[in-house]
Chains A and B, each alone.
Chain A
Amino acid sequence: MAAALLEFGYLFVVLAVVGAVALRLGLSVIPLYVVGGVVAGPYVAGRVGLPYVPNGEVVTVLAELGIVLLLFFLGLEFSLDRLRSSGAKIGRAGVIDLAVNLPIGVAIGLVLGWSPVESLLLGGIVYISSSAIVTKTLIDLGWIADPESEPILGTLVFEDLAIAVYLAVVTSLVLGGDGGVAAIGRSLAIAFGFLGLLFVAVQYGTALFARVLDVENEEAFVLRALAVVVPISGAALALGVSEAVAAFFVGMGFSTSGHRERLEHLLVSVRDVFAAVFFFWIGLGTDPTLLAAAAVPLVIAVVLSTPSKVVSGYLGGRAYDLSAHRSLRVGVGLVPRGEFSLVIAALAAAGTTPVMREIIPAFAVGYVFVMSALGTVLMQRSDLVERLVFRGGAADSETSAEST
């Protein structure tokens, strides 16, 4: 018991220190939490004989809570009404984004000789931008006030929905094992049956949930919210259905309950703590020597998926009737990848093949590290990107007139 508590103390010290470093350097905390986990975990600190945090069951459960809360919040802030109201534009930008970036990741996997499921996992990791990093950078740079923020945030909303469907499918494929088409079909049917039921329950049960949350006391409120979302997510996972998607649906149900703001306000620090543990746990499970094995896909993915996001984002910006200059910023603004790529990696780690268990998680850690840094830097220096892209004279006066 004492040992476990000490390990957690160590874990939080590492998170606090790397968090401070990230703040000081102006970097995103997500990749640094992961690095903290790698360094303080069995594969680095453990190997050189220093005290280390073992990749035990308790950390795994708390990290799982992190995934659940991350997706729960995503659902809370996701609104079907919003998607409907500016649906045509979001839809166009979102479909372009999906149609360009998911296939590139899948193609890389297939070219490397990976199985279709492994390649699909790679596709998801490469496809999904980081809501957390992108949104924070938009605010930091002041782009949030400019027209490009709307297609960027709209595309993120579309990605949220796409990732919910994607995780539902891929979880069945990974956890459904290798029992052939029939088994896969059965696990897909269970997944969509469960999620369909959950969707109906959340749609029509919002009033009931809202009554459960109708309590003045803050402590009781937080506990009741967790008492709804965690058991439902756990039941989903027990059935081989994505716990993350279940949490997303519960969040979506709560978003119309009239308690949304209070939930966000009171649960945000709970989410941040467990999300940090999740990122740390991803690091714990990463053997840096495996990064060498993941180096080839990593380099290919970085080289191909950076320009592909810029291009798809550019086209998405055009779908919003933005100028070439602003559309390019939309593309640059969607480059950072982060938390959801890691959620997919965590799912892959539960898989059966060596590629899923070892290569993909190591790949995801390296990829998120590169793309979060590269994406943020590209956003900060978007003036250079513009000059580079528009140098050929394709740009009109609007592009050169201003740069921050």
Chain B
Amino acid sequence: MTIYESDLPGVGKKHEVELGDGSRLVIVTHNSGKREVFRRASADSDSEKLFELTDKLARQVGTLLEGAYFQPVQTEDIETLLGDNTLIEWVEVGADSDIAGKTLGESDLRQATGASVIAIERDDEVVASPGGDAMVEAGDTLVVIGPKAACRDFTALVKGT
């Protein structure tokens, strides 16, 4: 990606961002702080104004685009984000998983990973707040809560990957 910067004397600065499809995003930052955002469909065409933002609004939108305010977490599993770094994750127990056929207490997952099992889904049935003696079987889905890293370790352990 190339970004072109040029001075606009008496106005501010202009940045052009190549968008990959041959078009360019043009951002004019006025000395007053106002941002005007344009799109130019091709090198020859005229810029089409998309919107303008005040300095403050531009910064807020900028943090959204940058991901500083909210960053989507990418994983293959279904998960829900709680607060900054805590996930609820659904992990299916594979047929060849080490923990299939053991109780939660035996498999000692919480000590090993830091993530806790808060429910076990088996067919249509849900075991809520399972104790240490709850049996885990292949095909169960474990609902797990914990820090992101703990959930990742947990998933790795259970799936045996």
Cβ-based interface call for A218 (8 A):
no
Total interface residues on A, CB under 8 Å, equals 27
Q: Which of B1-20 contact A (CB under 8 A)?
A: 6-11, 14
Question: Interface-forming stretch among A144-152, A241-249, A270-278, A337-345?
Answer: A144-152
For B47, give its contact among A78, A135, A146, A150 (CB under 8 Å).
Answer: A146
Cβ-based interface call for B80 (8 A):
no
Cα A149 to Cα B30 with chains together (Å):
14
Are the CB atoms of B45 and A150 closer together than 8 Å? no
Cβ-based interface call for B121 (8 A):
no
For B26, give its contact among A145, A157, A323, A401 (CB under 8 Å).
Answer: A145
Are the CB atoms of A402 and B46 closer together than 8 Å? yes
- Which residues of chain A come closer than 8 Å to B26, judged between CB atoms? 145
Nearest residue (CB) in B for A85 is B7
Partner-A contacts on B (CB < 8 A): 6-11, 14, 26, 28, 30-31, 36, 38, 40, 44-49
Are the CB atoms of B44 and A144 closer together than 8 Å? no
Q: What secondary structure prevails in chain B residues at the interface with A?
A: strand
Q: Which of A74-125 contact B (CB under 8 A)?
A: 77-79, 82, 86
- Which residues of chain A come closer than 8 Å to B6, judged between CB atoms? 150
Nearest residue (CB) in B for A147 is B43
Cα A401 to Cα B41 with chains together (Å):
13
Given contacts A135-B10, A139-B30, A145-B47, 19 further A-B contacts (CB under 8 A): A77-B9, A82-B9, A139-B11, A139-B36, A142-B48, A144-B36, A145-B14, A145-B38, A146-B40, A150-B6, A150-B8, A156-B9, A156-B10, A157-B9, A264-B31, A398-B44, A401-B44, A401-B45, A404-B46
Cα A402 to Cα B41 with chains together (Å):
11
- Provide the A54-91 mask, 1 if CB < 8 A to any CB of B, else 0: 00000000000000000000000111001000100000
Nearest residue (CB) in A for B24 is A145
Nearest residue (CB) in A for B34 is A139
Are the CB atoms of B31 and A144 closer together than 8 Å? no
Are the CB atoms of B11 and A135 closer together than 8 Å? yes
- Which residues of chain B come closer than 8 Å to A164, judged between CB atoms? none
A78 to chain B, nearest CB (A): 8
Are the CB atoms of A153 and B38 closer together than 8 Å? no
- Which residues of chain A come closer than 8 Å to B11, judged between CB atoms? 135, 138-139, 144, 153
Cα A21 to Cα B40 with chains together (Å):
34
